[in-house]
Structure 1
Amino acid sequence: MERIVIVAYKPFKGKENQLMELSTSHWKTLHDLGLVSDRRPILMQAKDKTVIEVFGWKSKQAMEEAHSNPTMNKMWSAYAEVCQYIPIGSVEEANALFSEFNPLEI
């Protein structure tokens, strides 16, 4: 059963462009590996440059498989060099009744 996730990536100072590069290829990489659903992801940005991604894993098992996949481990290591994963609730806009973000193209 598909699992929808929301992930927030807060870029380290000066690493905004590298985060954008990773974010625009993240879902395609997961999709090529057969780990996510065909549902197109939503990618957006908060005022503080935090990138928010919404996408669907194929299943809980696919999520677990990703953590032992060398391609994904390499990509996630690259993420660790350019950003910090933060809870979506810590993004200022998430506290509004109608949270607004700038859309990003994938």
Structure 2
Amino acid sequence: MERKVSTDGTVLAFASYKPKAGKEQALLELVKRHLPILRDLQLATDRNNYIARSEDGTIIEVFEWTSTGAIGAAHEHPAVADIWEKMTLVADFIPMNNLQEGQSPFPGFAIIN
């Protein structure tokens, strides 16, 4: 699916990771390492992020890309590709509309961090 972002500034990202059976802790450890990697590469801002959990156990990561170009650059960087590959071993990346909360105009999630 093509991403359409109508901004030349920063971009707010919502990522949804459904842990595979027995892999939630491993996923959380990877999610906590994810943003520092993006920040070290100057692909994500230093603004506060959120890690949350949906009712079905899906982990939601909310952070800010430095630009639309940073999104594409992340897909080409080996360090980012490495952590994303590790994440795919412990979770499925799912669209937020697959979550029960995604059916609501005002979804709420349990905050982890």
TM over 0.5: yes
The residue number in structure 2 matching 1:75 is: 83
Task: Give me the identity figure in percent.
Answer: 33
User: Partner amino acid for 1:10?
Assistant: K
TM-score when normalising by structure 1: 0.92
Q: Give the ranges of 4+ consecutive aligned residues of structure 1 lying more than 3 Å apart after TM superposition.
A: none
For 2:44 and 2:105, locate their aligned partners in 1 and report how far apart those are by CA, in whole Å. Answer: 29
Q: What runs of 5+ residues in structure 1 fail to find an aligned partner?
A: none
Q: What runs of 5+ residues in structure 2 fail to find an aligned partner?
A: 1-8
For 1:97 and 1:30, locate their aligned partners in 2 and report how far apart those are by CA, in whole Å. Answer: 30
CA-CA distance at 1:41 after TM superposition = 1.1
CA-CA distance at 1:9 after TM superposition = 0.4
Which of these residues, 52, 60, 65, is aligned with residue 60 of structure 2? 52
Indicate yes or no: 2:111 matched with 1:103.
yes
The residue number in structure 2 matching 1:36 is: 44
Q: How many residues align?
A: 105
The residue number in structure 2 matching 1:14 is: 22
For 1:61 and 1:41, locate their aligned partners in 2 and report how far apart those are by CA, in whole Å. Answer: 20
